[in-house]
Structure 1
Amino acid sequence: MTDHARVTVTCPAGKITGVTDGEINRFHSIPYSRIPGPFEDAERLTDRRLVDATVYRPDTIALSVVTPSDARELSDLPVVVYIHGGRFEHGTHGDRRADGAANARDAIITVHIGYRTKLQGFARFHDDEPDHFRGIDDCQLGLEWVQRNIESFGGDPTNVTLLGQSAGATVALWLMRRDHYRGAFRRAVAMSPCFPRESFERRKGSLRMVLGRPVTRAELTRLAEEKPEVLRKAYVRFRGIHGLDMALGPTGFDGAELSDMPLLLTSTRDEHYEMPAGRKVDARGWGRSMVRLLARRMGVRGSVADYLRAAEAIDPARPMGRLIGDAANRRWVSQAGDEVPGPVWMVEFTADHGPALHCAEISPMFGVTDAGSHPARDLLVDFAHGITPDWPDYDERTGRWTREITLDTASVRLAGDPLRMVREAFTKGPV
């Protein structure tokens, strides 16, 4: 990379040098915290630094910034902060499906925040504060970095949209909680959020069994530093034990605990059709039987027979695939829509030719396609600019109206309560 392709921004964090192609500036892998130990809480960076942000470093806990090349301090451009998914197990601050180039062309600044995953980010210890997770706290510090520094990149710190997908959507909702919210964003987008069905405390015994030693901060730190392969293999066994669910992540979601702010909730109709276990079961014609066998274990509280009929009415060939997606994601979308105190708009992504799968909406929404304009893209651009969606908000009193957007044909229509089958299956009475 030649010198003329470099660009430097001076901000409270120091001098950040990135790269530019004359249209778009990219600042890769900017450190935003100090992590004293793998299982310790991160700390805010306080010293000013010279940061080489010309190269993407995927193994670091960092953030990236993408801006229009003509963005300057006091340009006051809207900011989208993206938190990646990955089952709380993988992913970094360089998710190419959510590249910020199209946002930059639409005069929006994009920040990707990376955070600790797996046990380093989401194991809990006896002295942790309630509802505190290191991975989520990492994102909190990243948002605080944005508040202190984004104005120097041309962004408006009072006009930040927090957007997360899958596990990242869960993080976004958690950061909206009144006990976590610190004013670092004005509105949020939660795309297919997911919460484990059991807390880490209830699963600690299985982790202790595969580790063969106590689950303490000191012991896990020792393993991470001296025997990382032992810790990696133990985690693989641990997640296998909880294969019908996510092994890690925050639990105890209550939408009523969230702050009152505009929220856009989305899901894909066929979330996890391609999950290998479910695909295999359905392909062999065992879907109906497995749904009957596993529905209660996977969180269905209402009538299993009613749920199965509704699932087969949508797609008789994939009942198990539908149960996996409904249990992992769509039930939480439905619950959040009914419980959050602020205005909420609901979107369901579908497809006319094949299933609408988990993650399929990311690239169209960020404009990372060759198809040109797409209603998913228009939706993000408008929402980031503070434009209220042009369909009714999601309200049980008026019909729970939902915007349906087809990913492959880019058609749009208004649908009435498409999550009813999920709501009735997963929220009725005790198991």
Structure 2
Amino acid sequence: MSDHVRVTVTCPAGKITGVSDGDVNWFHSVPYSHIPGPFADAERLTHSQVVDATVYRPSTIALSIAAPADARALADLPVVVYIHGGRFEHGTHGDRRAEGGPNAREGIITVHIGYRTKLEGFARFHDDEPDHFRGIDDCQLGLEWVQRNIEAFGGNPTNVTLVGQSAGATVALWLMRRDHYRGAFRRAIALSPCFPRESFERRKGSLRMVLGRPLTRAALTRLAGEKPELLARAYSRFRSIHGLDMALGPTGFDGAELSDMPLLLSSTRDEHYDMPAGRRIDARGWGPAAVRLLARRMGVRGSVADYLRAARAIDPARPMGRLIGDAANRRWVSQAGDEVPGPVWMVEFTAADGPALHCAEISPLFGVEAESPTPVRELLVDFAHGRTPDWPEYERHTGRQAREICLTSGRVDLRQDPLRMVREAFDPEGRA
């Protein structure tokens, strides 16, 4: 960054110094909370600070900002807040696939919020409030920081679009719950959300077993300080025990509990289709047998034979790969689409030259490595400006229409009920 110049913004949080390349002002790793301990609730920062935001520090729980270089305070530019994915286990506030340069060049401010992952963010203790997770509460504090400070960077705090992908989409939906929503964003985009099938409370026994000690806040805090490598190994074993699912994360999703606001939901058609375990099973011809054996454990409640038939009709060689993606992501997209009280638009991403995999939509959505506007890119730009999508809402009585966008060709179509096979498999007695 030798050709970059320093730029300082004064806001209620203090003096934040970042760098500018003449088009975009970048502010890296800005602290937004105080965390007293790895398993303690974060606290709001109450004093202004002098912050060197010229360097990205991935190990910190912080946020990053990308703004147009010519943006001035009170310019009322749209704001996109991005929450990264990573199975509730990894990821930071510096996801390059969603870097905010292209947004800034189109007059949109982008904020990436980092949060605690693994046990620090999502283990639960006996004195935690119901449905409370430290990782999600971190994001809540980050959003509140945006509300207090983004005007100084040129953003409009009343025009914030929350965008999350995978685990980040789950966090976004959780923050939309009426018991969590605090008015910090006006609309949301949830890309391939994922929820664990079992609650943390049901998995405490396996975690206690691999830790070999009481599952208390004090015990884990001591372990993190004295023997962090032991804690890391224990978590790795815990994760392997629950390898067919996310090991951690919020559970008990009910779309009817969400606030009434515009929501754009999406999935990729093939999601975790190429996950190594599924790929090996399918390559050996064991896919159909594996689906029959594992479908119930992975959440299928309808006819396994019907699901397998539908999966093989799409790709006869990859039924296990399809089950992994449907169980991890697409079932939740289907449920959210039918349950949320506000207006919802559905998108399915496909590919013309192979499977449309998990995460494939992130860079096109944020305009990274794109030389010209694409239908995927236009989704974010239009929605962030508050424009209503130009295809029908996803509703049962109108046939659950969704937009299909090909990530490779740019082709756009209108599809009828693309998640039907998923809904019939995972919720056979629910929504018709």
Match of 1:305 in 2: 305
Question: 1:192/1:3 Cα in 2 relative to 1: closer, same or farther (>3 Å)?
Answer: closer
Q: Deviations over 1:385-430 (max 9, x none)?
A: 0000000000000010000000011110000000000001001249
Return the letter of the residue paired with 2:308: L
* Structure 1 CA distance for aligned equivalents of residues 101 and 4 of structure 2: 20
SS at match of 2:38: coil
Match of 2:373 in 1: 373
RMSD: 1.0
> Identity of counterpart residues, as a percentage?
82
The worse-fitting range, judged by mean Cα deviation, of 238-247 and 420-429 is: 420-429
Match of 1:247 in 2: 247
Return the letter of the residue paired with 1:120: E
Return the letter of the residue paired with 2:90: H
Match of 2:8 in 1: 8
SS at match of 1:190: strand
Match of 1:230 in 2: 230
SS at match of 1:87: coil
- Structure 2 spans left out of the alignment, 5+ residues: none
Match of 2:116 in 1: 116
* Structure 2 CA distance for aligned equivalents of residues 26 and 126 of structure 1: 41
Q: Deviations over 1:328-382 (max 9, x none)?
A: 0000000000000000000000001000000000000000124422101011000
* Structure 2 CA distance for aligned equivalents of residues 2 and 8 of structure 1: 17
Match of 1:416 in 2: 416
* Structure 2 CA distance for aligned equivalents of residues 213 and 99 of structure 1: 41
* Structure 1 CA distance for aligned equivalents of residues 109 and 158 of structure 2: 13
What aligned pairs does 1:95-134 form with structure 2 within 5 A after superposition?
95-134=95-134
Give, in angstroms, the shift of residue 313 of structure 1: 1.1
Give, in angstroms, the shift of residue 233 of structure 1: 0.1
Q: Deviations over 1:197-246 (max 9, x none)?
A: 00000000000000111111000000001000000000000000000000
Return the letter of the residue paired with 2:411: S
* Structure 2 CA distance for aligned equivalents of residues 410 and 99 of structure 1: 21
Q: Deviations over 1:272-304 (max 9, x none)?
A: 012110000001111001000000000000000
Match of 2:185 in 1: 185
Q: Deviations over 1:164-199 (max 9, x none)?
A: 000000000000000000000000000000000000
| Number of residue equivalences | 430
What aligned pairs does 1:29-428 form with structure 2 within 5 A after superposition?
29-428=29-428
Give, in angstroms, the shift of residue 107 of structure 1: 0.4
* Structure 1 CA distance for aligned equivalents of residues 204 and 315 of structure 2: 37
Q: Deviations over 1:80-101 (max 9, x none)?
A: 0000000000000000000101
SS at match of 1:65: strand
SS at match of 1:6: strand
- Structure 1 spans left out of the alignment, 5+ residues: none
Question: 1:235/1:4 Cα in 2 relative to 1: closer, same or farther (>3 Å)?
Answer: closer
Return the letter of the residue paired with 2:111: V
* Structure 1 CA distance for aligned equivalents of residues 105 and 204 of structure 2: 47
Q: TM-score, normalization: structure 1? A: 0.99
The worse-fitting range, judged by mean Cα deviation, of 171-180 and 4-13 is: 4-13
Give, in angstroms, the shift of residue 12 of structure 1: 0.2
